[in-house]
């Protein structure tokens, strides 16, 4: 980030739109007194109880990196309470190839029922996107409580999640045996070790983000006596004594058909395949447990192939989780690596204008991509754009060459580039490699302007590891 994201001025366009409706759009610092009614408004929006004073003070401490924004109606009797809330921060998002891109995480979007249908959400979301781009974040991300809201701003599901239920009476372990050991630890012991594991594991899976502070301490239940008391914490250390995995679980007194208890896995992270196998084998072999439930997990899990009866692991509630929105096409596409070499032209529409245009992506044999913005006129050859040699690494749109007079028609005839037309929603959906371009073409969301273009794009964008986001934010 070129400057502090917390002090970057509020977006003037959105502020003016809201001011014209008699509303005030401003930023808050974590130490401001107005943060207390802001947190209350957030809880009200998600139907949670009023926050206690100690909760408010803990959140101030845990979230010093967040940019906090709100909208106020000074004509209300309780004018201190905002009628809308938003928060955001830059984070590192893992992309295919074990690389990262800076993403703008957006959270706590609420609008009071008393002020709906006045364009407040649109003003706030558009402000977040313009702020993200101004500060150099090529991608915006969020997790959505409802699946029908955020498409209008260019977001699309890019990583899915599922709940797994394992019948332990049928899940005899047939996978690898680990050489290290699993041991119980406390939340305080996991506070440092666990976060290091999360960060080391992050680059192995597209869709994971870096997180600490509020998100990490909430996961551990720190500050919530009830959660701390009911959770159990495991850590796996390899044969050299290096911590490589951990899991957090609770035991429900609800009984299964066998009369045994149910374990719910709140979180599990592993750096190595051996550590993954060790943690899940331990959980499946717990005494007096008839069922292991694991919500918010990837839609593809190796443990389903590491037990004797694969039908003992049932996947359900498969749904969208991480929503992505590409803002800077060259920077976003050049940040990741690709599974196949090739050349493709994307004719992208974007109602907000950020990603709109014709973009040539050239991928070399090493999986590195270079993006060139194409001109709008003519059908001349793209020979002047060069081949896929000398492809640069990740960079902003300012580093992309502009090839005048080269349209999509010219692209099709130059070097056999595939050409597809799609919206920014679809480009964002396929970005992490978990949503197949061919599927979207069959759904009518992507138009092939050259034969077989969608399948070529799918082969390029495919991720060997299923994208997954491990938390809500």
Q: What's the token pair of residue 328?
A: 């800077």
Q: Where are any strands of DSSP class E within 196-354?
A: 232-237, 243-252, 261-270, 289-297, 313-326, 342-349
In the chain, pLDDT over 90 holds for what percent of residues? 80
Mean pLDDT of 137-159: 96
Q: How many residues does the chain have?
A: 473
* pLDDT band (50, 70, 90) for residue 57: confident
Stretch 118-146: mean pLDDT, rounded?
97
Q: Could you report the per-residue pLDDT of 64-100, keeping only the tens digit for each?
A: 789 999 999 999 999 999 999 999 999 999 999 999 9
User: Torsion over CA of 444, 333, 338 and 401, rounded to 10 degrees?
Assistant: 110
pLDDT in tens, 302-313: 999 999 999 999
Higher-confidence position of 390 and 31? 31
| Position 406 confidence tier, pLDDT thresholds 50, 70, 90 | very low
pLDDT at 59 over 90: no
Query: Which residues, at least 6 apart from 223, have a Cβ–Cβ distance to it below 8 Å?
Result: 54, 55, 58, 217
**Of 256, 57, 83, which is closest to residue 171 (Cα–Cα)?**
256
User: What superfamily would CATH give domain 329-461?
Assistant: SCP2 sterol-binding domain (3.30.1050.10)
255 falls in which pLDDT band (50, 70, 90)?
low
What are the tens digits of pLDDT across the range 20-50?
A: 999 999 999 988 999 999 999 999 999 999 9
Domain edges within the chain: 12-154, 162-319, 329-461
Average pLDDT along the chain: 90
106 membership: H or E segment, kind and range: strand 99-111
Instruction: Give the pLDDT of residue 325.
Output: 98
Number of CB atoms found within 10 A of residue 189's CB? 15
12-154: which CATH architecture?
Answer: 3-Layer(aba) Sandwich (3.40)
What counts of helices (H) and strands (E) characterise the chain? 13, 18
Q: How far apart are CA 326 and CA 224, in angstroms?
A: 36
What pLDDT is stored for residue 58 in this prediction? 79
- DSSP code string of 374-406: EPSS-B--SGGG--STT---S--GGGS-EETTB
Q: CB under 8 Å to 82, separation ≥6 — which residues?
A: 34, 37, 38, 41, 70, 71, 72
Asked whether the predicted pLDDT for residue 392 surpasses 60, the reply is no
CATH class of the domain at 162-319: alpha beta
Q: Pick the more confident residue, 459 or 7.
A: 459
Q: Rounded to whole angstroms, what are the CA distances from 248 to 118, 165, 238, 288, 295?
A: 43, 16, 18, 18, 12
Domains 12-154 and 329-461 share a fold: no
Separation of alpha carbons 391 and 277, rounded Å: 38
pLDDT class of 411 with cuts at 50, 70, 90: very low
Going by pLDDT thresholds of 50, 70 and 90, the confidence category of residue 214 is confident
Of 228 and 284, the structure prediction assigns the larger pLDDT to 284
pTM of structure: 0.90
Lowest mean per-residue pLDDT among 56-70, 94-108, 165-179: 56-70
Q: What is the structure's pLDDT at 225?
A: 58
Report the pLDDT value the prediction gives residue 209, as an integer from 0 to 100.
Answer: 97
Which tokens sit at 370? 């270079």
Q: What percent of the chain has pLDDT over 70?
A: 88
Contact 107, 88 (CB under 8 A): yes
> Across the strands, what pairs with 472?
none
297 strand-pairing partners = 162
* DSSP assignment of 394-459: S--GGGS-EETTB-HHHHHTSTT-EEEEEEHHHHHHHTTS-S-HHHHHHTTSSEESSTTHHHHHHH
Which residue is associated with the tokens 């058909």?
Answer: 257
Q: Which token pair is 237? A: 């250390």
Over range 49-60, report the average pLDDT: 86
Q: Which residue has the higher pLDDT, 388 or 364?
A: 364
pLDDT at residue 380 tops 70: no
Residue 221: predicted pLDDT? 87
* Distance of alpha carbon 180 from alpha carbon 159, whole angstroms: 32
Given this model, what pLDDT does residue 342 score? 97
Tell me the average pLDDT across 115-121: 96
C-beta of residue 7 within 8 angstroms of C-beta of residue 58: no
Per-residue pLDDT for 388 more than 70?
Answer: no
> Angle, to 10 degrees, between the axis of helix 12-19 and the axis of helix 120-134?
160
Distance of alpha carbon 150 from alpha carbon 244, whole angstroms: 36
pLDDT interval class at 200 (50, 70, 90): very high
Q: Is the pLDDT of residue 268 over 80?
A: yes
């Amino acid at each position: 980030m070129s400057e502090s994201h917390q002090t970057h001025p509020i977006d003037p366009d959105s502020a003016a739109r809201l001011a014209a409706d008699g509303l005030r759009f401003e930023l808050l610092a974590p130490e401001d007194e107005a943060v207390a009614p802001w947190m209350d408004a957030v809880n009200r929006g998600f139907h949670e109880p009023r926050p206690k004073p100690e909760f408010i003070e803990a959140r101030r401490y845990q979230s010093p990196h967040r940019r906090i924004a709100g909208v106020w109606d000074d004509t209300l009797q309780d004018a201190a309470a905002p009628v809308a809330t938003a928060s955001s921060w830059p984070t590192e998002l893992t992309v295919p190839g074990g690389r990262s891109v800076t993403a703008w995480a957006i959270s706590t979007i609420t609008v009071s029922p008393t002020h709906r249908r006045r364009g407040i959400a649109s003003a706030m979301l558009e402000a977040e996107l313009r702020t993200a781009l101004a500060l150099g974040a090529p991608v915006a991300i969020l997790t959505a409580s409802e699946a029908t809201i955020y498409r209008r701003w260019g977001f699309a599901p890019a990583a899915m999640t599922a709940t797994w239920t394992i019948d332990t009476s049928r899940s005899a372990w047939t996978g690898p045996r680990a050489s290290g050991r699993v041991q119980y630890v406390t939340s305080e012991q996991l506070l440092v070790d666990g976060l290091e594991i999360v960060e080391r594991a992050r680059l192995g899976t597209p869709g994971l983000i870096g997180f600490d502070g509020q998100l990490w301490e909430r996961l551990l239940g720190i500050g919530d006596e009830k959660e701390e008391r009911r959770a159990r914490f495991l850590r796996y250390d390899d044969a050299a004594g290096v911590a490589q995995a951990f899991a957090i679980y609770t035991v429900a007194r609800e009984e299964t058909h066998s009369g045994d208890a149910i374990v719910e896995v709140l979180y599990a992270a592993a750096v190595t395949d051996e550590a993954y196998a060790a943690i899940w084998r331990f959980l499946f072999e717990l005494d007096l447990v008839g069922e292991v439930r694991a919500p918010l997990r990837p839609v593809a899990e190796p443990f389903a192939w590491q037990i004797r009866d694969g039908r003992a692991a049932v996947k359900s509630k498969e749904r969208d989780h991480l929503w992505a929105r590409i803002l800077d096409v060259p920077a976003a596409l050049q940040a990741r690596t690709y599974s196949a070499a090739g050349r493709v032209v994307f004719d992208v529409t974007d109602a907000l204008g950020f990603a709109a245009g014709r973009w040539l992506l050239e991928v070399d044999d090493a999986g590195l991509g270079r993006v060139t913005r194409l001109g709008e006129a003519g059908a001349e050859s793209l020979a002047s754009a060069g081949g896929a040699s000398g492809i640069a690494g990740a960079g902003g749109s300012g580093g992309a060459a502009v090839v005048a007079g080269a349209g999509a028609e010219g692209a099709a005839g130059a070097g056999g580039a595939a050409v597809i037309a799609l919206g920014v929603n679809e480009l964002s959906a396929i970005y992490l490699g978990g949503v197949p371009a061919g599927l979207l073409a069959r759904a009518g969301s992507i138009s092939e302007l050259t034969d077989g273009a969608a399948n070529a794009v799918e082969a390029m964008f495919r991720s060997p590891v299923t994208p997954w986001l491990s938390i809500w934010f």
